[in-house]
Structure 1
Amino acid sequence: MPGEKEIVSHEVGLDSSLQDDRDMERLGKAQQFKRNFRFYSILGFTTTLMASWESILLTSTYGLIDGGRAGMVYVYIGSFVGFFSSVISMAEIASMWVLFPSDETGSQHAMRQDEPSNHHISTSAPTSGGQYHWVSEFATPRFQRFLSYITGWLSVLGWQAAFASICFLCGTLIQGLLVFNYSGPTGYVYVDERWHGTLLTIAIATVGTLVNTYGARLLPPLEGVILFLHLGGFLAVLVPMWAMGPAKASDYSVWNEFTNSGQWSSMGLACLVGQLTPIFSWTGPDAATHMAEEVQNAAFVVPWCMVSTALINGGLGFIMLITLLYNMGDMQSVLSPASGFSFLPAVEHATGSKAATNGVAAIILIMEVCSAISILATASRQTFAFARDNALPFSGALAHVNKSLRIPVTSVIVSTMITVLLCLINIGSTAAFNAIASVMIAALFSTYILSIGAFIRARMLPGGLPPTRFSLGKLGLPLNVFSVAYLCFAIIFTFFPTANYPTLVDMNWSILVFGVVVIFACVQYFVHGRRIYQAPVTQVRKTD
């Protein structure tokens, strides 16, 4: 890559664990976690966290309403291209080697991309900070502290909302199954109440908390098992839908019939609104970065894990999407399910069996609970990292790592408490809770835009970039620019309601929640953050 320097680290022969510890020392951070994750276990962690093929089924209603069969196919393909460019852009950033400039006085300070290239060279591993750390390194020095602070708040918001959202999704799936099984003309009829969903959400959050605290030591080997279940469950759902299904939909209807049930002004706009289905199924490609301080040989494993996760889940999601579209039966019967989940009548039509449908739903529910466990771990590590830099209220407590369990227990518990408090909103208004939960996409996308945008700025400087262990070469700049353009375009449609001319209940209020959080973060910075926030780049240590 132009501007990069060919180097050979004098520490190449070091044991990977010792290398990870030294990398953390250079970043000015103490190694407080056990590095229990290897490539396979962290791949299981991130792959099941995203749970793409499961999410395609769970959120298929949005795409079927706005776009229909053909719309879902082409939107999925287009969205994946943009999504994957963003993932590989962040993977390159995560693998970046850091150069530490030295001045004539020998003082130690962090790299500034516009400083002279008189520097010492060393390697650096990713930290749990992720995007806000990257912005701190690569943004213009004048604004890097402020932008890093805002990025950190958005990342914390995004992951906290993600945990609340996945727990609520699991709770409502249980409710949907009850409606699906007990809504006939005879016998017991289940009455869907909002407070039922709230209690079920709290129950799922509690399960995630117990696994992330008392079962924390078992999490790495457990993730390997969960990866096997993720792949095995995929086959267990896929095969019956193709083998047991009646007449399939025609090729023409799958690849050429579009639907605009949301009554948008054009079919193209309807398809763009419907991209929420694939976007939701790819939430969290940065999760591996936030677990980086628990990964062996993180500078190598983390970026390759991000890329592998995107490829595996992208492929599985597309196959499951095509399976659903060919086997789901009549569009109208699928779009108006009493359960609220379109995939339930679709699977029942494909298999001809309510028992088989319950089995498929059970597999998806188990995998989504596993996803919730991984999301809570990620949310707590992101919260811990930001608190470690004195950016959050009660930072001392949130940044504390339990010496026995070697995890940030306080951050785990606080993350759970936030979900519990948020889900109480659902008792009064499901729409209000959905606005908070759905804001995760906009918040996380914003952090991707800021970090990749800062990286583009660094690429354009005369000094070039430090070497990487995962390089995009000459394609790096165009891929970075394309990914930012895609993210800026996609984020707009995350704020759209499902249908045109929505009522107050149907309106997507996530833009209001997002705006309030951004304003709060800005005010918090000028009132509190700029005095005590320790931007990560200011803590990096120079080594000879």
Structure 2
Amino acid sequence: MTVIERKSDDSLQEKGVPYATQDECILADIGYKEELKRHFSVVQVFGIAFSIMGLLPSISSVIGYSLTAGPVGMVWGWCIASACIMVVGLAMAELGSSLPTSGGLYWWTYHFAPENAKRPLSFLCGYSNSLGLIGGLVSIDYGFSLMLLSVVSLATDGEFEPSKYTVYGVFAGAVLTHGLAGILTTKLISKIQTACIVLNIGIIVLVVIALPVGARDHLNDGKFIFTQIENISEWPTGWNFFLSWLAPIWTIGAFDSCVHMAEEASNASRAVPIGIISSIGMCWILGVIVNIICAAVINPDVEAIINTPLGQPMAQIIYDCLGKKWTMAIMSIIFCLQWTMGLSILVAGSRQNWAFARDGALPFSDWLKVVHKETGVPRRTVIMGTFVGLAIGCICMIDDKAAYALFSLPPVSNDLAWLLPIFLKLVFGASKFVPGPFYLGKVLSKIIGIAASGYLVFAIILLMFPTATPHVTTDTMNYVVVLNVGVWIGALAYYFLYARRWYTGPRSNLEDDPRVLDAVRVVNQELAKEESEKANEKQVEEHVERVVI
């Protein structure tokens, strides 16, 4: 279906003819009527991804993983992994520009997959993506609880040592407050994203300036920052360096949230790719700067920083530079921003789950797909995400090693969900792909697709490994293998044993509102008329030219 770009047509409305915006026409072409309210601008679509990434709060949560490889892991690990993630972002931006829908990944998987694999692969992709987004909420709020409690520990000079049950209690409080905030109107949540952009950049500027000033008497030199490699694990040094990539992989892992907000974005076919690419690029550049600053001011005894009694390596780094009061102030701002990260990812995840329920893929889909009429928010999927998150978070009460799975869970789940549509478009979908406003061109698009697919396969394998040692025991086990593989096998088993009887893939709901089809038909008739008039004008001009000659 072809659409024309315009904002209004009073003459048609005066005649009683229904009118469809460009976004409505594109969505109708995909097969859906509009149910959500489009209150997100291009900047706010970028904002929801940038807010979830929450650069400094995220680095604070996972800096311990990059520190195991020393400054080289912090700086070069971030730089290389970010470049790989940008390649994936470019591939996804093309898809988001061509087919902007909240279902995104599983919808694209169905669209590009061969006929006999469409339904099971779409089903698997949707469940993996849903797990990744809810897992993202869990890992963010687990990091939030650790940061908040590290401030309490600092305030009591280390006398307060939280138990794993205390950690879960704080985590649960964060998740529940996100659930309450997540049912607010779309317009209010979009305003929060604008504020988050300003606050996140502001705290980065503060830390980048304050830490070197505070550590001016003991700054590390360039050789230490860019060439000092550590190996605080039992893995070979090279593999340990790859494991340090967990920090950027986890941090810059929310750009698909732009896709899930597509049905609430104005000019979605442009807003989605801009949001994806700009959020990755911003975190790549600012992340390198933050990591260089941290490497410049850090205590050269990296192992002591990792094992700090404060329970948070970033808190120790700030404390060594600025002292107790400044550390408490900065860490308090950081964990407040981390709270907004959790809210944003719950909102994005609820839209994915709502779209999945709209297509009948989730249990109780008929109940979950209902949109609250007054707010335009899928409140029931917000509530679902809240309680599933609380259940998954119980892992943190096992032990610290099990809690590591909370940080590997989102990227592993999302990487598979990203891999499927990108790979299927590359191999099977060339003839089906219709470029949107953002398109890399036939050759470069294929190169990007190959590179993105290769990286995602590597990342999935990498994130399955234990971080500390190759000698696997119940204590050193990376439980993300159990969680992710269990969900993947469970999703496919559920499909083949039961869901295949009724899940037919994405299904149109346009018949529920025939006015949408009427409006789109009017738009296309007008476009055809305009094209015909232009063709006639061109013929007249050519005839005049021939007469003159």
Range into which the TM-score falls when normalised by the shorter chain: 0.7 to 0.9
Q: Which amino acid aligns with 1:472?
A: L
Q: Where does residue 175 of structure 1 map in the other structure? A: 149
Q: Distance in 2 between matches of 1:483 and 1:442?
A: 15
Q: Where does residue 198 of structure 2 map in the other structure? A: 228
Q: Where does residue 96 of structure 2 map in the other structure? A: 94
Contact 1:90 1:452 (8 Å CA) reproduced:
yes
Q: Distance in 2 between matches of 1:17 and 1:448?
A: 31
Secondary structure class of the residue paired with 2:360: coil
In the alignment, which of 250, 253, 260 is matched to residue 231 of structure 2? Answer: 260
Contact 1:17 1:297 (8 Å CA) reproduced:
no
1:426-482 deviation per Cα after TM superposition (whole angstroms, max 9, x unaligned): 3344544543553111110001111100110245x5x47423210111311111101
Distance 1:263 1:17, change over 3 A: farther
Q: Which amino acid aligns with 1:396?
A: D
Task: Confirm or deny that 1:317 pairs with 2:262.
Answer: no
Q: Distance in 1 between matches of 2:20 and 2:208?
A: 40
Q: Which amino acid aligns with 2:28?
A: E
Comparing 138-147 with 289-298, greater Cα deviation is found at: 138-147
Q: Distance in 1 between matches of 2:110 and 2:184?
A: 34
Secondary structure class of the residue paired with 2:498: helix
In the alignment, which of 11, 15, 20 is matched to residue 23 of structure 2? Answer: 20
Question: Deviation at 1:269?
Answer: 1.0
In the alignment, which of 53, 72, 78 is matched to residue 76 of structure 1? Answer: 78
Task: Confirm or deny that 1:191 pairs with 2:194.
Answer: no
Q: Where does residue 493 of structure 1 map in the other structure? A: 462
Contact 2:91 2:445 (8 Å CA) reproduced:
yes
Contact 1:283 1:441 (8 Å CA) reproduced:
yes
Q: Distance in 2 between matches of 1:398 and 1:429?
A: 34
Distance 1:279 1:140, change over 3 A: same
Q: Where does residue 501 of structure 2 map in the other structure? A: 531
Question: Deviation at 1:325?
Answer: 0.5
Contact 1:458 1:465 (8 Å CA) reproduced:
no
Distance 1:10 1:383, change over 3 A: closer
Question: Deviation at 1:341?
Answer: 1.4
Secondary structure class of the residue paired with 1:491: helix
In the alignment, which of 404, 418, 425 is matched to residue 455 of structure 1? Answer: 425
Question: Deviation at 1:254?
Answer: 1.3
1:181-214 deviation per Cα after TM superposition (whole angstroms, max 9, x unaligned): 3245xxxx21311111111111111221222113
Q: Where does residue 412 of structure 1 map in the other structure? A: 382
Q: Where does residue 335 of structure 2 map in the other structure? A: 365
Q: Which amino acid aligns with 1:242?
A: P
| TM-score under structure 2 length normalisation | 0.87
Question: Deviation at 1:367?
Answer: 1.3
Secondary structure class of the residue paired with 1:507: coil
Q: Where does residue 218 of structure 1 map in the other structure? A: 188
Q: Distance in 2 between matches of 1:507 and 1:537?
A: 41
Task: Confirm or deny that 1:157 pairs with 2:131.
Answer: yes
Task: Confirm or deny that 1:144 pairs with 2:118.
Answer: yes
In the alignment, which of 60, 64, 69 is matched to residue 61 of structure 1? Answer: 64
Q: Where does residue 4 of structure 2 map in the other structure? A: 11
Question: Deviation at 1:58?
Answer: 2.3
Distance 1:38 1:469, change over 3 A: same
Comparing 380-389 with 208-217, greater Cα deviation is found at: 208-217
Contact 2:185 2:377 (8 Å CA) reproduced:
no
Q: Where does residue 481 of structure 1 map in the other structure? A: 450
Q: Distance in 2 between matches of 1:17 and 1:318?
A: 44
Q: Distance in 1 between matches of 2:7 and 2:273?
A: 20
Contact 2:105 2:125 (8 Å CA) reproduced:
yes
In the alignment, which of 344, 356, 366 is matched to residue 386 of structure 1? Answer: 356
Q: Where does residue 313 of structure 2 map in the other structure? A: 342
Q: Which amino acid aligns with 1:450?
A: L
Contact 2:255 2:275 (8 Å CA) reproduced:
no
What percentage of aligned pairs have identical amino acids?
A: 25
Contact 1:388 1:396 (8 Å CA) reproduced:
yes
Q: Distance in 2 between matches of 1:508 and 1:35?
A: 41
Secondary structure class of the residue paired with 1:406: coil
Q: Where does residue 250 of structure 2 map in the other structure? A: 280
Secondary structure class of the residue paired with 1:214: coil
Where structure 2 has 5 or more consecutive residues not aligned to the other structure, the ranges are 9-18, 511-516, 525-549
Question: Deviation at 1:216?
Answer: 4.4
Higher Cα Rg, which structure: 2
Q: Where does residue 354 of structure 1 map in the other structure? A: 324
Q: Where does residue 14 of structure 2 map in the other structure? A: none
Contact 1:53 1:316 (8 Å CA) reproduced:
no
Q: Distance in 2 between matches of 1:210 and 1:437?
A: 24
Secondary structure class of the residue paired with 1:259: coil
Question: Deviation at 1:375?
Answer: 0.5
1:46-75 deviation per Cα after TM superposition (whole angstroms, max 9, x unaligned): 11111133322321111111x211132222
- RMSD across aligned positions (CA): 2.1
Q: Where does residue 120 of structure 1 map in the other structure? A: none
1:18-40 deviation per Cα after TM superposition (whole angstroms, max 9, x unaligned): 11122222222221111010112
The answer to which structure has the higher helix fraction is 2
Secondary structure class of the residue paired with 2:116: coil
Question: Deviation at 1:10?
Answer: 5.2
Q: Which amino acid aligns with 1:135?
A: T
1:508-539 deviation per Cα after TM superposition (whole angstroms, max 9, x unaligned): 11111111111100111112221211312777
Q: Distance in 1 between matches of 2:245 and 2:21?
A: 44
Contact 1:17 1:296 (8 Å CA) reproduced:
no
Q: Where does residue 122 of structure 1 map in the other structure? A: none
Q: Which amino acid aligns with 1:389?
A: D
Q: Distance in 1 between matches of 2:474 and 2:249?
A: 24
Q: Distance in 2 between matches of 1:505 and 1:176?
A: 24
Distance 1:82 1:129, change over 3 A: same
Q: Where does residue 538 of structure 2 map in the other structure? A: none
Distance 1:342 1:45, change over 3 A: same
Q: Where does residue 45 of structure 1 map in the other structure? A: 48
In the alignment, which of 384, 396, 402 is matched to residue 372 of structure 2? Answer: 402
Distance 1:177 1:502, change over 3 A: farther
Q: Where does residue 11 of structure 2 map in the other structure? A: none
Question: Superposition pairs for residues 246-257 of structure 1, below 5 Å?
Answer: 246-257=217-228
| Count of residues in correspondence between the two structures | 500
Q: Distance in 2 between matches of 1:147 and 1:139?
A: 8
Q: Distance in 2 between matches of 1:10 and 1:526?
A: 38
Q: Where does residue 101 of structure 1 map in the other structure? A: none
| TM-score under structure 1 length normalisation | 0.88
1:68-94 deviation per Cα after TM superposition (whole angstroms, max 9, x unaligned): 111322221211111000001000011
Q: Distance in 1 between matches of 2:221 and 2:206?
A: 24
Q: Distance in 1 between matches of 2:127 and 2:74?
A: 33
Q: Distance in 1 between matches of 2:385 and 2:185?
A: 17
Secondary structure class of the residue paired with 1:142: helix
Question: Deviation at 1:502?
Answer: 5.0
